[in-house]
Each structure stands twice: as C-alpha cells, then as structure tokens.
Structure 1
Amino acid sequence: MSNQDSRIRNRQLRAYGVFAIAAILLVIIIIAIIGLFSGDAPADIQNSATPTPPAITATPTPENTPTSEPTPSEEATPTPSIIEKVVKTSQNGSVNLRAQASSDSQRVTTLKTGQILTVLSEENGWAKVRTQDNQEGYVSAEYLIDKVTGTVVNINSALNVRETASSTADKVGTLENGDTVTVLDTSNSDWTLVALSDGKIGYCSAQYIQIS
C-alpha cells in the first residue's frame, strides 16, 4: 500500500506542477495582453492630438507716408528800378557835381540843364547820381526834376526848336514826326521847353508834342 500511495502522490504532484506552470503561463499571457492594450501607445497614435491651425498673421496696414511739401521755388531777386532825373537850372545853366554831399566838397564835373542822370540814392537834400559817361557824385536835389519824354506828332514837315518861346526867336534845331525829346517845362500852354538828343535846349510848339 505504501508504494501505491507513493506513486499516486507523485502523479498528483506532477499534475499540480503542470497545472502551476500552465497557470503561470496564463498569467504571463494575460499580463502581456493587458500591457499591449494599456501600455504606451505608438508614438504616431499617442501624439495624434488635433493639429493646431497655423496662426494667422495680420497683414500690417501700410502707414501713410507723409507727402513732402513742394519746396517753394526760389524767388528771383527783383531788379531794382532805375530812377532817372534831369538837371534843370536856368535854360542854359549848369550845376556842380561834387565828390561828397556838401557844397564845400571837391567838384567832379559840371552838369548842364537837360542832362539825364541815374539817381542812386537821395538823402538830406542831396542826390547821389551817375552820369551817362559813368561819373558818380552828389548834386543838390533841388536842381533835379523827373524825367518826362515827349514825342513829335502831327507835323507835316519839320518842327522848329527856338531859343525862346517865340516864333520869331532864333532856331536851335528842328524835329520830325516820331522824334523824342526830354520835356523840361510845360508851364506855358503854347510852348514846351525841351532838351534835344544833342544836348541843345529850346522851345517848340506845344501842340506838336505828345507827352508820355
């Protein structure tokens, strides 16, 4: 009985061993299966979150570039107007042109009635002038009058210029239609005192002189 009991016990032990091994393998398989489904997911699945749409960058509104104001064009320096005056003393008189604005100053030259001068400045009764031959100096302003031009018109032949305001006075020259003269005096309604281009002074009939 003892040998038989021993054999039965051995069989039982082997059966238990097989059962234990099978149980252990089953546990391992179960653990493996559980690990497969509950473990770390593949990288491409685990990180498959909903993609974030790219940020939309607002296009900056261009700033208005200030329009530069046009540079004003440089204004031309106005040419100073030329002031011309005429010497007037007595009919055939003259006046001194001096180096300084003083009657005691050195005399530069003598100016005759009817002579045209360019006035450079005028102060304290004296005018700084330039003659037509470019001499400069000072003359008393009381001997200067504004330049007035007259033109001979409506004459059929020649207009006589006489020494005095009389048709019987000696002639000092003649004028034709279109000739111009420097007018010195119009106080006589019948006769005009004029200076000719050659410097001679005389009277001509006022009706033939058109003053401009």
Structure 2
Amino acid sequence: MSYAATELLEQLRAARLAQNLSQRELGERIGLPQSNIARLESGGTDPSLSKILELARTLDLDLKLVPRKALPTVQGALRANQLGIDSSGSTSRAIHSIRQMKDAFANLDRAQFKLPDTLSKTLDDLERLRFDQTQLRALQDAFKPMERTLDRLRQAGSPPKELSRRFRETNNRLRELRNRIAHGVELDQSHLKPAFSLEDYDDD
C-alpha cells in the first residue's frame, strides 16, 4: 500500500475515534463487517478510491484536490475549525499548557536555560494537533518533570545536574505522544504516567 493511502486511512481512523465510533458501528453505517474495517485501518487490504470516499463521507469528511501553494491556508483553516469544535476544551487547554512551558523558559532569560531546538520543534508540532481529554492528560504528565526543573532553576539560579538528559527524555516522551496523536493511535495506561519518576531529578 502506498504511503499516501496509509496516511489517508490513519486520518480516517483518527476521525472515527474522535467521533467515538467503534469499528463495528462504522461498518454498520456502510454495510461492512467489523473485520473489514479492522483490515482497512491496519493496512491489511488496499482499498479502492471509492471505498475511501465512502468511508470519509460516512465520517462527515470529504476529499478534495488542493493546489500545493494553497496548503498552508487550508491547513490553517482546518486547525481553526478543530479549535472551534473542541467541545471539551482539551485542545485549547493543551495549547495553553504548551505555550506556558515555552514562555516559562523564555522568561528565565539565560542562554543555558534555553529549550533545545529539537524540543522547541516538538512543542510547535504538538500545538498544531487536536487533543482529547486522555491526550491532554498524557501531555500534562509529560510536562511534570520539566515543571519541577523550572522550579529548581528559579530557586537555585543554576541548572540542575544532567539538564540535557531531562530535556532529551522529555522530548522523546513528547515526540511519542505527537506521533500517536497524529496517526490516530489510541493511548493506553502506560501513556498516562510520567516516563520517569520525579525523584530521579533530585540533585545530590
């Protein structure tokens, strides 16, 4: 299956999950058994264009050809629409948390405390996504070690030991979350806990 088809199916799966539909319920709407929907979403079969269109329209979506130079405008409109239909407030709260984290480090006004470019880029990517309540909680859990680091920076005025390791671990955690949200992969309980204990950050 081509990358383009895989990407479309991942987006359709994300749309199904966002509407709280099971594979069985979606299948009933278009006259397919749950097993067929499962194979489609997992890439186990190569769907026809007509089947992709049918799935999209069943999920209240549509497919259109867009000039490449118009993509930034279209993507911006889609992000604005996602924020507009964020009934739980999870997306707006996630964006607020991300911007707070960026601003907190920026306000330290010390070069050694600057967020690494890789972590800044991951935060930028997360800002463009739509969050549900479970994903918001996972984001907040991933931020907890960095919040503790910020407290130590404010109090001590000098970077804690192994600050670069903390940045790296947080970035890995956030990148995994970003990829799972972008690809419509459901989070399990392991993603609702920090990847490392706060006690790991006690300086000797």
Fold-level similarity (TM above 0.5): no
Could you say which structure has the greater relative contact order, defined with CA pairs below 8 angstroms and 6 or more residues apart? 2
TM range (shorter): under 0.3
Q: Kindly indicate which of the two structures has a greater share of residues assigned to helix.
A: 2
Length-normalised TM-score, structure 2: 0.25
Length-normalised TM-score, structure 1: 0.25
